[in-house]
Amino acid sequence: MEKTFLQTKKVMLVDDEPDLLKMVSAILADDGFENIVAAATVKAAVNVCKEEKPDLLILDVMLPDGDGFSLMRQIRQFTNVPVIFLTAKDEAADKLAGLGLGADDYIVKPFLPQELLLRVYAILRRCYKEESNIIKLEGCTVDFSRAEVKRDGKTIPLTAKEHVLLETLARNEGKIVTLDALCEALWGDNPFGYENSLNAHVRRIREKIEVSPSKPVSLITIKGLGYKLNIRK
Amino acid sequence: MKSFTRYFSKYFLSFLSLIFLLVILNVIVFAGTFYGNITKDYGDSSPRRLLEETIADSSASGISDTAREKLRSHNIWAMFLSPDGQCRWAVDLPPGLPAQYTIQDVAVFSKGYLQDYPVFVWDDAEGLLVLGYPKGSYIKITGNYYSRDMFKAIPLYFAGILILDLLLLFAAYYLSKIKVVKDTAPLVSSIKALADGKTTSFSVKGELSEVAESINKASQILSRQNEARANWISGVSHDIRTPLSMIMGYAERITTNSDAGPAIQDQARIIQRQSKKIKTLIEDLNLVSKLEYEMQPLQKEQIRLSKLIRSYAAELLNSGIPDAYTVDIDIAPDTENTMMECDTRLITRAISNLVQNSINQNPQGCKIQLALKNVNGCLTLIVADNGIGLTPEKLQELKKKPHYMESTDERLDLRHGLGLLLVRQIVETHNGSMKIDTIPNQGYKTMISFPYIHQPPPPKATVH
């Protein structure tokens, strides 16, 4: 899941504040994004969106000739491009309205540039998966499309649950995923009392991917919280 | 409500004294009115006195002149009957009255009237003295007789009547008191709510409806003002957001811009840090004012607090806090599946504020512990650190001093900082309570207890 692949995506910004447009463009450009387009009104945004076909929209809610929610509805009529709202409106109701429309994220100003970048990457990663479904770990590789672990020339198959578990962790590489989130991914909405089963699955995965399962370096336990997966670059 | 009961008890004594005074007054007025009549009835011209005087001044043979004059001056006639009913002598005997009386005649008139003259008799050894008063001057009760038992019962009867009256009076008083208290209860509680700065609306029928209307009106004005204030704060914080985003964004760009010298980068870092403080402040301010004026709609849902704590901690660690801080999670097994109805966003905010407090108070780093325990049936969330803590004076200050958001004083020593105030408000909206424990140089601990524990059904089988 290389950053450079994500940075080729075209990002479109819509905000009526020229200084803010300039700044967000600069933040994205500094981090390596090459294709950035901008618009300041609802009308211009619809046109630019049709012409440029961006891969990600970052919308303000309050615009001079309308609001970001209605803009999103108009754009949704011809494209399913992911949308992030970046707005000064912090009411829970606004947030729900935005996410309810199907927006992928809702960031309230003032925001930290790093935070914006992280969320942009997260959404791009989710929406535009790289072709390859192979990750490299310490001492082995995991091929998700074939549900296999390759280690020392041997091929070890993953069970369905192990596959889901590893994939959930890989999608959040280097980040802690809570027990609750893992249980939900494995068993659905009501994961009471599944922690022991989760432990068992983690143990079996470690036997497949870790060089030394009792001293794991890839699939790490974060005590009391959850697990995280370290992926080799 | 209590004060009202006191108010009425106090007035009950006055009420009793009033009844007492009334009785005394009645007696005095009665005595004053009838004093004249009574003295006349038992005075000089009273039948008894005149009978005694006349009998003393007369005999069967005649009457003295002075006695005759006295009778005349009072318009009274007299006659003396011998034992056989013959009139021996008479003074001014009205014409038409016979001079001879039978035993039946005597029996009849001695009790009452003789030809409409009220007459009084005196039994003398020689005969019977009869005095006749002018017609209509006295009423004689001719046909009355009462049983002894009835007379004996009279005191009892009066006492009974008195007690019954008192009971009735008391009952009327008590019932009216209850009615007034009942009618005014919503008024009193509304006024109390107004006094606490809360808004209220209620309806009362009858005489008090006007008062109720006024209170509702006052409440509406108050709520409009609160709304205006909250909107004002929300508007200002909204308008600060975009410019602040730019300050923060450009400051960060300067810190990473190699064209700027280290001194300029340092200054940009200061701008960054201070902007972050403003960011936290406006985020808190808006929420605090909304909670304060009860304008924050709560989005309550049943959640597991254990899950919320883990998800917050994971987010905190994933966002990358400095290595000097460690985060420990300690969730007691019996609280793991406990459900609680709460607004996830608000509770997360409260935990976040407490953790940020620990981080801000301990720039040198510290161990932060997030724990969930069952303490005496209360679901208790603990955020603790092993940092510098607070001195007892500082803790006292935190507990006692009013916050500037809640005070109209213009004191200079009001408490500042919105973080803890927000935590307290969030805890209160969830009916919880909050306790702070601190030992200087050993740590700072906040315990938040929520009263109700709702246990979910037992977990399903655990093997898959």
Nearest by CB to B249, which of A27, A175, A194? Answer: A27
pLDDT given for residue A173 in this prediction: 82
pLDDT given for residue B136 in this prediction: 83
The CATH code of the domain that includes A39 is 3.40.50.2300
What phi, psi does B339 have (nearest 5°)? -90, 150
Residue B290 distance to chain A (closest CA, Å): 10
Give the model's confidence band at A2: pLDDT under 50 very low, under 70 low, under 90 confident, else very high. Answer: low
Q: Are residues A13 and A121 in the same domain?
A: yes
> Which structural domain, as residue segments, surrounds residue A178?
134-229
CB contact under 8 A, B318 and A175: yes
Q: Are residues A106 and A173 in the same domain?
A: no
With pLDDT > 70 as the criterion, what percentage of chain A qualifies?
95
Contacts of A222 in chain B (CB under 8 A): 314, 317
Sole residue written with tokens 């601990």: B445
Q: Are residues A8 and A113 in the same domain?
A: yes
Please identify, among A112, A127, A142, the residue that sits at the C-terminal boundary of a domain.
Answer: A127
pLDDT given for residue B83 in this prediction: 86
CA-to-CA distance for B305 and B329, rounded, in angstroms? Answer: 12
ipTM of the complex: 0.78
Q: Are residues A11 and A111 in the same domain?
A: yes
pLDDT given for residue B196 in this prediction: 76
CA-to-CA distance for A95 and A105, rounded, in angstroms? Answer: 9
CB contact under 8 A, A113 and B244: no
pLDDT given for residue B116 in this prediction: 87
Q: Are residues A7 and A109 in the same domain?
A: yes
Q: Are residues A107 and A204 in the same domain?
A: no
Q: In the predicted model, what is the mean pLDDT of chain B?
A: 83
pLDDT given for residue B456 in this prediction: 52
pLDDT given for residue B214 in this prediction: 85
More confident residue, B335 or B368: B368
Cα A30 to Cα A87, A208, B264, distances in angstroms: 22, 40, 19
pLDDT in tens, B67-87: 888 888 888 898 988 888 888
Please identify, among A127, A143, A169, the residue that sits at the C-terminal boundary of a domain.
Answer: A127
Split into its structural domains, chain A has a count of: 2
pLDDT in tens, B217-257: 888 888 888 888 888 888 888 889 889 999 999 998 899 88
Q: Identify whether the C-beta of residue B202 lies closer than 8 Å to the C-beta of residue B190.
A: yes
Judge whether residue B381 has pLDDT over 90. Answer: yes
CB burial of A198-209 (b: ≥16 within 10 Å; e: otherwise) equals beebbeebbebb
The CATH code of the domain that includes A210 is 1.10.10.10
Q: Are residues A149 and A57 in the same domain?
A: no
Judge whether residue B166 has pLDDT over 70. Answer: yes
Q: Are residues A155 and A102 in the same domain?
A: no
Give the model's confidence band at B462: pLDDT under 50 very low, under 70 low, under 90 confident, else very high. Answer: very low
Please identify, among A97, A127, A157, the residue that sits at the C-terminal boundary of a domain.
Answer: A127
CB contact under 8 A, A223 and B329: yes
Which chain A residues in 23-52 lie under 8 Å from chain B, judged by CB atoms? 23-24, 26-27, 30
Q: Are residues A76 and A119 in the same domain?
A: yes
Contacts of B250 in chain A (CB under 8 A): 23
Q: Are residues A13 and A68 in the same domain?
A: yes
pTM, 2 dp: 0.65
Q: Are residues A112 and A26 in the same domain?
A: yes
Lowest-confidence region among A206-210, B37-41, B390-394:
B37-41
Lowest-confidence region among A49-63, B103-117, B237-251:
B103-117
Cβ–Cβ contact B290 with A under 8 A: no
CA dihedral over B178, B179, B182, B185, signed as positive or negative: negative
Cβ–Cβ contact B300 with A under 8 A: no
Cβ–Cβ contact B367 with A under 8 A: no
Which chain A residues in 88-117 lie under 8 Å from chain B, judged by CB atoms? 88-90, 92-93, 108-114
Q: Are residues A37 and A56 in the same domain?
A: yes
Lowest-confidence region among A159-168, B36-45, B410-419:
B410-419
A87 sits in which H/E element: strand A83-87
Nearest by CB to B313, which of A114, A192, A225? Answer: A225
Judge whether residue B1 has pLDDT over 60. Answer: no
